[in-house]
Structure 1
Amino acid sequence: MKSNMFLRALAVCAVAMTTFVSASAVAAQDVSSAKYKAIDPPQRTEPGKIEVLEFFAYSCPHCAVLDPMLQSWAKTLPSDVVVTQVPVVFSAAYKPLAQLYFSLEALNRLDLHGLVFKAIHEEHKRIFTKAEMSDWVASQGVDKAKFEGVFDSFGVLSKTERANQLSKAYNVEGTPSMAVAGKYLTSPSEAGGYQQTIDVADALVKKVRGN
């Protein structure tokens, strides 16, 4: 069953990845509409901020590749740009992984976020159930009882449901996908590769700002 879940996750990821080309910077004035989709209807975002949402799944190998690029890019952004990662819940199989992300957030241990990708995709560890996750986070120095206490908490479950609502509102069909300002959605398949996805998102941030 776990194997089937992982295969389904790979299939969903494949929706967002069809071809790759060499990386090249995308200037704000040159970003092609073919490299992103307009979000219809546009979504409300925080006033005074340019919101970037990255829809991801821990089980998605393409998300594992994009994540360090996203983290590096986020550090270069001005203070009015807010990057938020949103774990998708395409089906019940994805829910525990989304809860894992929000549990780490609740415990102030998002320093383990990148290590989750590494554990699944490089070390081939099985951390898809609550029990497996509890054992894994404990091996990383997290108090097991505290983790299990927040995993099914109202706060974590509410954020998981909100993430599900967001992915539906933004019409996210595959991971990774990046939304900018509630208006635009891009992904490796539209942008042409991993780094190109970051480049297009950066160009769209500049487009929204009017640079």
Structure 2
Amino acid sequence: MKKLLLPLLFVLLTPSLLAQDFNAGEHYDVVSSGVSTPKQVMEFFSYFCPHCYNFEPIAQQLKTTLPADVSFKRAPVSFLGRDMGPELQRAYALAVALNVEHSITPALFARIHTERKAPANRADVRALFAEHGVAPDMFNSRIDSMPVLAEVAGYDSIREKLNITSVPTFVVNGKYVIKIGALKSQQQFNDLVSYLLNLDAQESGNATN
């Protein structure tokens, strides 16, 4: 987790009135020579991460500002939560597949960080899904299915490729990792994402001039 993040969680919600200049190494790192198509913002997170929980309103506000041609995706990591880390990776993949992620994610965050009753086993996760309309038989038949396991393998593969070691971490276009500790407002965060989404096109245009 980036230093100084917790104090910034408050000021990040305050609009910035100043135009921003963004620099590699200061506001973001370049971690890949490739770029995702179509445009994409990906958040690496863990349900067990208190900073990810606190960052939720910031991430949700960012989503409302993204253009229609930009997707917002999440990749849960397995390195927090001990044995339940991989279990909640599967839970997230299943929630997306069943189109209940919008209710499961806030419920899991609240269960862990507000109620202090983190799921201790698969039965606890199954019970939470049941509370949000997923029948236990459906949960049991899908949680170890090949599509869910393939999604989890994808999360791990891209995390390893980009060497993601802390959460929350935001990666733009599969290439740029945002340095959260360098940001001072929600607006600056939004502006940096917008800048990075268009950076490759800007550089291509400059190269041809």
Sort the TM-score into its range (normalised by shorter chain). 0.7 to 0.9
Q: How does 1:58-137 map to 2 (within 5 A)?
A: 58-90=47-79, 93=83, 94-112=85-103, 113-137=105-129
The one-letter amino acid paired with 1:73 is L
Query: Per the alignment, in what secondary structure is the counterpart of residue 30 of structure 1?
Result: coil
Give TM-score scaled by structure 1 length: 0.80
Q: SS at 2:117's partner residue?
A: coil
Query: 1:190 deviation in Å?
Result: 4.5
CA contact (8 A) 1:27 1:203 kept: no
Q: Is the 8 A contact 1:134 1:144 kept in 2?
A: yes
CA gap 1:64/1:132 in 2 versus in 1, 3 angstroms: same
Counterparts of 2:152 and 2:18, CA distance in 1: 35
Q: What is the count of residue pairs matched by the alignment? A: 194
Contact 1:89/1:98, CA 8 A, preserved across alignment: yes
Matches within 5 A, 1:23-42: 23=12, 25=16, 30-33=21-24, 34-39=26-31, 41-42=32-33
Cross-structure match for 2:195:
203
CA offsets 1:41-88 (integer angstroms, 9 cap, x no match): 334422xx2111110111101111212321222122111211111111
1:156 matched to 2:159? The reply is: no
Looking at structure 1, the residues matched to 116 and 187 of structure 2 have their Cα atoms a distance apart, in angstroms, of: 25
Q: Using the alignment, how far apart are the partners of 2:19 and 2:201 within structure 1?
A: 10
Q: Which residue matches 2:2?
A: 16
Once the two structures are TM-superposed, the CA of residue 90 in structure 1 deviates from its matched residue by: 2.8
Answer whether contact 1:66 1:194 (CA < 8 A) is retained: no
Query: Separation in 1 of the partners of 2:78 and 2:185?
Result: 24
* 1:188 matched residue in structure 2: 180
Amino acid at match of 1:145: D
Given the two structures, how large is their TM-score scaled by the length of structure 2? 0.80
Amino acid at match of 2:92: Y
- Once residues 167 and 195 of structure 2 are traced to their aligned partners in structure 1, the CA distance between those partners, rounded to angstroms, is 20
After superposition, the Cα gap between the structure-2 partners of 1:142 and 1:120, relative to the gap in structure 1 and judged at 3 Å, is same
> What's the secondary structure of 1:85's corresponding residue?
strand
User: Corresponding residue for 2:39?
Assistant: 50
Identity percentage over the alignment?
27
Q: Which residue of 2 aligns with 1:8?
A: none
CA distance in 1, matches of 2:65, 2:124: 35
Q: Is the 8 A contact 2:4 2:181 kept in 1?
A: yes
Equivalent-residue separation in structure 2 for 1:192 and 1:167 (angstroms): 26
Look up the SS of the partner of 2:177 in the other structure. Answer: strand
Using the alignment, how far apart are the partners of 2:19 and 2:175 within structure 1?
15
Q: State which structure, 1 or 2, has the greater radius of gyration over its C-alpha atoms.
A: 2
Task: Give 1:137 deviation, angstroms.
Answer: 1.5
Structure 2 unaligned runs (5+)? 204-209
- Matched residues in 1 for 2:92 and 2:34: separation? 23
Q: Which moved more, 1:118-127 or 1:94-103?
A: 118-127
Would the aligned equivalents of 1:38 and 1:183 in 2 still touch at CA under 8 Å? yes
Instruction: Give unmatched runs, 5+ long, in structure 1.
Output: 1-14
In 2: Cα distance, 1:185 partner to 1:95 partner: 23
